[in-house]
């Protein structure tokens, strides 16, 4: 697929699945997409990062050679690219044979403290992928997730308890993925017990289901 055809497909949102399929068959397309992210001035760059993320869900080994490029997205001024970076790196952890994640670990999980709820929720909600791929990090990652109730997130410039509740729900969903392998099960259960009193009904439901599933 030459660049002109690729650009035409990118402009047609309905063609994104086609590009994903083609990128899996012809990984050179990924190179073209990656090169567009820092250079493209239009909204097409968002389609590029989305496609790369989608490919990483199906074939992370194809995207892994671009790990360092994607790590730069964690500090991108555009939130959509930042979020795609968070999700893509979590997908790449399963094939990280060179332990590249070690270099970005601190900056990645520091985003749990990001004032923007969606950024923190993306980290918390996908941390389980990293735990399962790198169980040696479980203690430290779980510790960071358990700190979420004490973090202040903002909505329209104001502290938002509701945003905090949403991230707490994501933490519970994350814990559910690796509870059986965790050395911190008692702390997870305590976290879930406390979330039963959340003012967000959906979080209460998640907590109740978690306790029903994992309590002895």
* Confidence (pLDDT) at 4: 64
Say if CB 210 and CB 192 are below 8 A apart: yes
- E-strand ranges in 11-123 read none
* Structure confidence by residue, pLDDT tens digits, 1-17: 556 667 677 776 667 88
* Structure confidence by residue, pLDDT tens digits, 176-211: 999 999 999 999 999 999 999 999 999 999 999 999
Whether the model clears a pTM of 0.95, i.e. scores above it, the answer is no
> What backbone torsions phi and psi does residue 201 show, to the nearest 5 degrees?
-60, -40
Contacts of 148 (CB under 8 A, 6+ apart): 112, 120, 124, 164, 167, 168, 171
CA distance readout (Å), 154 to 25, 63, 68, 182: 42, 33, 30, 31
* Confidence (pLDDT) at 111: 98
For the cut 70, the answer to whether the pLDDT of residue 165 exceeds it is yes
Q: Which helix (H) or strand (E) holds 159?
A: strand 158-159
Q: Length of the chain in residues, anyone?
A: 216
For the cut 90, the answer to whether the pLDDT of residue 168 exceeds it is yes
| 3-state SS string for 171-212 | HHHHHHHHHHHCCCHHHHHHHHHHHCCCCCHHHHHHHHHHHH
Q: What value does the mean pLDDT take over residues 18-46?
A: 89
């Amino acid at each position: 697929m030459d660049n002109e055809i690729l650009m035409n497909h990118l402009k047609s949102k309905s063609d994104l699945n086609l590009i994903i399929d083609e990128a899996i068959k012809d990984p050179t397309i990924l190179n073209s997409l990656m090169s567009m992210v820092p250079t493209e001035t239009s909204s097409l760059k968002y389609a590029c990062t989305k496609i790369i993320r989608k490919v990483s869900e199906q074939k992370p080994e194809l995207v892994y050679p671009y790990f360092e490029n994607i790590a730069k997205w964690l500090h991108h001024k555009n939130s959509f690219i930042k979020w795609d970076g968070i999700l893509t790196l979590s997908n790449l952890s399963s094939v990280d044979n060179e332990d590249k994640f070690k270099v970005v670990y601190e900056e990645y999980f520091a985003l749990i403290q990001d004032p923007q709820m969606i950024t923190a929720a993306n980290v918390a909600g996908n941390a389980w992928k990293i735990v399962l791929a790198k169980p040696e990090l479980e203690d430290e990652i779980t510790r960071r997730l358990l700190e979420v109730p004490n973090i202040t997130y903002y909505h329209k410039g104001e502290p938002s308890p509701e945003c905090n509740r949403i991230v707490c729900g994501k933490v519970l969903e994350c814990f559910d993925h690796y509870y059986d392998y965790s050395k911190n099960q008692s702390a997870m259960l305590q976290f879930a017990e406390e979330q039963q009193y959340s003012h967000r009904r959906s979080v209460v439901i998640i907590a109740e289901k978690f306790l029903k599933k994992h309590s002895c």
